[in-house]
Amino acid sequence: MQFKTPTGAHKGLAAFRVFAHGWGEKSGEVIGDEKIDDLGDEATRLRVGGNGVQVTYLWRRGNLVLQVHVHCFDVCPLDVDGRTRVWVDAVDEEAQVGG
């Protein structure tokens, strides 16, 4: 989502994080909510277990707020987060070049 200013994106990202965390609690058990140092500004990764594994990355690049969410049902790959991170990095690369 694109905001007019980085300050607006900062506020929007905070609201998205509250929503994602609440949704995670509603749909399963939050098993991780960590800051991510090597991904944009204010980056976090939320991991949820329960009805399948869920991984949500949220981060900001200037006035852009980005999110990647994967929900794996039934038999999941052992490294769902690692596979999700490949997608996250591709989205982030496009955001940086204006793709």
Could you list the pLDDT tens digit for every one of the 99 residues in the chain? 899 999 999 999 999 999 998 888 888 888 889 999 999 899 999 998 877 888 999 999 999 999 999 888 877 777 888 888 999 999 999 988 875
Question: What pLDDT does 60 receive?
Answer: 95
Q: pLDDT value at position 52? A: 80
Instruction: Provide the pLDDT for residue 46.
Output: 92
Is residue 74 classed as helix, strand or coil in its secondary structure?
Answer: coil
Count other C-beta atoms under 10 Å from residue 69's C-beta: 14
pLDDT value, residue 10: 96
How far is residue 91's CA from residue 87's CA, in Å, rounded to a whole number? 6
This prediction has a pTM of: 0.88
